[in-house]
Amino acid sequence: MTIKSRFLLSTTFILVLTCFFSWLSIRVLAEDIVVSWVERYAEKQARYDKVRTLLPLIQEINLSKEFAELESLKAWAKQPNNDSLKQQALLDTETFRMRFAEKSYFIALKGSERYYYSDEATSGNFYRYTLESTKESDAWFYQIMEQNLDLHLNVNPDVELGVIKLWTDVLIRQGDDVLGVVGTGLDLSDFLHQMVEKQDIYSAIVFTNYEGSIQLHQKEELINYSSITKNAKGKKLVFQLLDDEESKTRLKQSFERAKDNPNQTEMISVDKDGTRQLASIIYIPEIDWFQVNFIDINRFLPLSEFSGLFIVFFVSLVFALIIFYILLSLIVTRPLAELDLSIRQLGKNHYRAPKLRYFAGTEIKRLVSHYQTMSTSLLEYQHELEEKVKERTAELNRLSTLDPLTELYNRRGFEIHMKEYLQSWQKDHEPFGLINVDVNEFKLINDRLGHAAGDFVLQKIASHLLSVVDKKGVVARWGGDEFLILVRGKQEQDRISKRLHDDKLLHGIDFNGDQIFLQFSIGNAFIQENDTLELLLNRADKAMYEEKFHAKTSS
Ligand SMILES: Nc1nc2c(ncn2[C@@H]2O[C@H](COP(=O)(O)OP(=O)(O)OP(=O)(O)O)[C@@H](O)[C@H]2O)c(=O)[nH]1
């Protein structure tokens, strides 16, 4: 696999891996950021909701408390059958009535068990009915007093008016004595309408008591009416809104912590409506309720908002890898490809210097420089080798044309020269002659003085022939004791021929003290029109034999 493909494969792998882990970490990070933002938001929102949503209610509570403290009311409650005290009290309460939001109030007296109600429509007829401890609809009155609850908020239908009201119930006390219950009512529908209006789209607010019974909720059907009188079984609890037991336990525990730290916000995460939500819990001591805000994290700040971040990261990663790839190509792979090409060219005996650009890496430049030095000396060495081979071949060729003993041309060498002479004769009419020189009775030398003497004599004859020819012709040992001489021109042929006949060599060669006498038989032939080498050789041979025969017969 090439570096490029390896690199592409590994970078793709790294890219996928990095993207996967960055997606994971961006998700975790985003979740952390979202949660921390939602926490801050929830804390602020819980305080804001408490103030804004419950402000009218708290106002009514405070007014009710103040109302319960009216001295004239207390005096009447103590003696409920005293008419003058009643008149006095009602004068005061009527004046006070205008301060209540709905300009209405109720008074339920323990002593007389009478229930009084006043609003805009009441015209002096305050008494409504007498409470009965056995009636379920009156149970609230007896429960509040029995439980000694200074304040109780109660959602209950007003049968007479045909509306559901959020009642503020406050005890009238005289020291430790409970004299009755007073308070006012707010129209629940109006109140919930206001609450929904002020509510944030991301959160759902629930008001509950300590046991989790829902007191206020956007959805009226979730509210527990007369919760003080209902047993726990029939109550709609905030915990039932949650998906699992773990979330329920967490919420219950947070109620305990919140109660210990009033007005402090508790944050927990719960599973509700199939999603993970944050719940902020705040205890409101003024009304002994818990305000629970459920915030859907994904709706508040969807994680998809972070996809842009991920895309930016992905694109920059791809971009960085492309740049890295280009740099790798410029620094490593391209110079390597150049080097590879040059090496392949060198294999074909052609040197091509690798072309390196400015960007090529220092190591590669060094490598290329070593390669260049190496290839130059390789080429030089190869050149030297070729020259040597040429020289050796020439030497071998030369040796193959020479006779090793005399170093004169052998048959092969001589034939080459004969062909040249014949060509120049045929082409330029340059005449030449052939002299055949044969030693008479050479065998006797070998026989008498040994083979070494024969060799010695043959060498002597060779050097003698060369000096006689004097570079004006070509001398060869044709075989055994037979020599041939090629010579240009008739005159030169005659001169050599005569020299050889007259030569001193014939008169004695000294070999280890022995005098060897030689006699040559010489045959001449001169080139003629339409001659062939064979004819020329034959004529010279024939002439030599004739002379030899003549010499033998005359001796
Ligand atoms: N020492 C030696 N003898 C050689 C060499 N080549 C051939 N001879 C001998 O040369 C002799 C040639 O003998 P022949 O052909 O009868 O020639 P010759 O004795 O000169 O007789 P004629 O030619 O008839 O005069 C042979 O005895 C060969 O063995 C060689 O290289 N060295």
Judge if the beta carbon of residue 481 lies within 6 A of ligand 1. Answer: yes
Widest Cα–Cα separation across the chain? 205
Give the closest residue to 484 by CA, choosing from 529, 523, 431, 426: 523
* 3-state SS assignment for residue 100: coil
As a whole number of angstroms, the distance between CA 129 and CA 109 comes to: 11
Q: What is the arithmetic mean of pLDDT over 454-466?
A: 96
The strand pairing partners of 21, in sequence order, are none
pLDDT recorded at residue 230: 58
Q: Any idea how long the chain is?
A: 555
As a whole number of angstroms, the distance between CA 355 and CA 336 comes to: 10
Interval 88-136: pLDDT, tens: 999 999 999 999 999 999 999 999 999 999 988 887 788 999 999 998 8
Interval 267-319: pLDDT, tens: 899 999 898 888 989 888 877 889 898 888 777 666 676 677 778 888 888 88
As a whole number of angstroms, the distance between CA 66 and CA 105 comes to: 12
How large a percentage of the chain has pLDDT more than 90?
47
Residue 226 burial by CB count (10 A; 0-12/13-18/19+): exposed, middle or buried?
middle
Q: In Å, what is the CA distance from 213 to each residue of 43, 58, 282, 508?
A: 22, 20, 15, 155
pLDDT recorded at residue 179: 96
Give the distance (Å) from ligand 1 centre to CA of residue 535. Answer: 25
Question: Considering the chain, what is the average pLDDT of its residues?
Answer: 87
Position 280: which residue type? Answer: S
Give the distance (Å) from ligand 1 centre to CA of residue 41. Answer: 131
Judge if the beta carbon of residue 49 lies within 6 A of ligand 1. Answer: no
pLDDT recorded at residue 385: 94
The residues, any chain, with a CB within 8 Å of residue 128's CB and separated by 6 or more, are 115, 116, 117, 160
As a whole number of angstroms, the distance between CA 377 and CA 262 comes to: 93
pLDDT recorded at residue 228: 59
pTM > 0.80:
no
Interval 8-28: pLDDT, tens: 788 788 878 887 887 788 778
At 405, is the pLDDT very low, low, confident or very high (cuts 50, 70, 90)? very high
Nearest CA to ligand 1 atom 3: 454
Interval 219-259: pLDDT, tens: 777 887 766 555 556 678 999 999 999 999 999 999 999 99
As a whole number of angstroms, the distance between CA 544 and CA 522 comes to: 5
The answer, yes or no, to whether residue 484 has pLDDT greater than 60, is: yes
Class of domain 401-554: alpha beta
Q: What is the arithmetic mean of pLDDT over 522-542?
A: 96
More confident residue, 488 or 11: 488
Residue 448 burial by CB count (10 A; 0-12/13-18/19+): exposed, middle or buried?
exposed
The residues, any chain, with a CB within 8 Å of residue 312's CB and separated by 6 or more, are none
Judge if the beta carbon of residue 482 lies within 6 A of ligand 1. Answer: no
Judge if the beta carbon of residue 451 lies within 6 A of ligand 1. Answer: yes
* 3-state SS assignment for residue 534: helix
Give the residue carrying structure tokens 């009602």: 90
- Count of beta carbons in the 10 Å neighbourhood of residue 386: 10
Sketch the domain layout of the chain as residue ranges: 9-62+199-301, 69-190, 308-395, 401-554
The residues, any chain, with a CB within 8 Å of residue 481's CB and separated by 6 or more, are 438, 439, 442, 458, 461
Query: Do 401-554 and 69-190 have the same topology in CATH?
Result: no
* 3-state SS assignment for residue 116: strand
How large a percentage of the chain has pLDDT more than 70?
93
Judge if the beta carbon of residue 520 lies within 6 A of ligand 1. Answer: no
The strand pairing partners of 207, in sequence order, are 216, 291
Residue 254 burial by CB count (10 A; 0-12/13-18/19+): exposed, middle or buried?
buried
Position 372: which residue type? Answer: Q
Judge if the beta carbon of residue 80 lies within 6 A of ligand 1. Answer: no
Judge if the beta carbon of residue 458 lies within 6 A of ligand 1. Answer: yes
Strands (E), 25-126: 105-109, 114-118
**Residue 426 φ then ψ, to 5°:** -65, -35
Give the residue carrying structure tokens 């009156």: 138
pLDDT recorded at residue 180: 96
**Residue 13 φ then ψ, to 5°:** -60, -45
Give the distance (Å) from ligand 1 centre to CA of residue 486. Answer: 22
Residue 513 is given by DSSP the state T
Q: 406, 451, 481: which to mutate for ligand 1, most atoms within 8 A of CB?
A: 481
Q: In Å, what is the CA distance from 490 to each residue of 427, 473, 542?
A: 18, 12, 18
Q: What is the arithmetic mean of pLDDT over 381-394?
A: 93
At 448, is the pLDDT very low, low, confident or very high (cuts 50, 70, 90)? very high
As a whole number of angstroms, the distance between CA 126 and CA 93 comes to: 11
More confident residue, 183 or 369: 183
Give the distance (Å) from ligand 1 centre to CA of residue 222. Answer: 145
pLDDT recorded at residue 161: 66
Select 69-190's CATH number: 3.30.450, 1.20.120, 1.10.3470, 3.10.350. Answer: 3.30.450
Judge if the beta carbon of residue 519 lies within 6 A of ligand 1. Answer: no
Give the distance (Å) from ligand 1 centre to CA of residue 485. Answer: 19
More confident residue, 348 or 494: 494
More confident residue, 348 or 123: 348
Judge if the beta carbon of residue 480 lies within 6 A of ligand 1. Answer: yes
As a whole number of angstroms, the distance between CA 248 and CA 55 comes to: 29
Weakest-pLDDT range from 108-117, 201-210, 512-521: 201-210
pLDDT recorded at residue 89: 95
pLDDT recorded at residue 312: 85
The fold of 9-62+199-301 is Beta-Lactamase (3.30.450)
- From first CA to last CA, the distance across the chain in angstroms is 94
When mean pLDDT is compared over 10-24, 160-174, 362-376, 429-443, the highest value belongs to 429-443
pLDDT recorded at residue 227: 60
Weakest-pLDDT range from 72-81, 193-202, 233-242, 328-337: 193-202
pLDDT recorded at residue 384: 94
Give the distance (Å) from ligand 1 centre to CA of residue 458. Answer: 10
Give the closest residue to 141 by CA, choosing from 167, 122, 161, 119: 167
Judge if the beta carbon of residue 448 lies within 6 A of ligand 1. Answer: no
pLDDT recorded at residue 555: 65
The sheet with strand 114-118 has its strands ordered as: 127-130, 114-118, 105-109, 177-187, 163-174, 151-158
- Count of beta carbons in the 10 Å neighbourhood of residue 374: 11
Give the residue carrying structure tokens 């109302």: 67
Enclosing H/E stretch for 283: strand 275-284
Residue 513 structure tokens: 């003290």
As a whole number of angstroms, the distance between CA 17 and CA 12 comes to: 8
Give the distance (Å) from ligand 1 centre to CA of residue 433. Answer: 25
* 3-state SS assignment for residue 296: strand
As a whole number of angstroms, the distance between CA 156 and CA 181 comes to: 15
When mean pLDDT is compared over 354-358, 365-369, 410-414, the highest value belongs to 410-414
Q: What is the arithmetic mean of pLDDT over 207-226?
A: 81
Residue 67 structure tokens: 């109302």
Q: What is the arithmetic mean of pLDDT over 200-222?
A: 80
pLDDT recorded at residue 202: 64
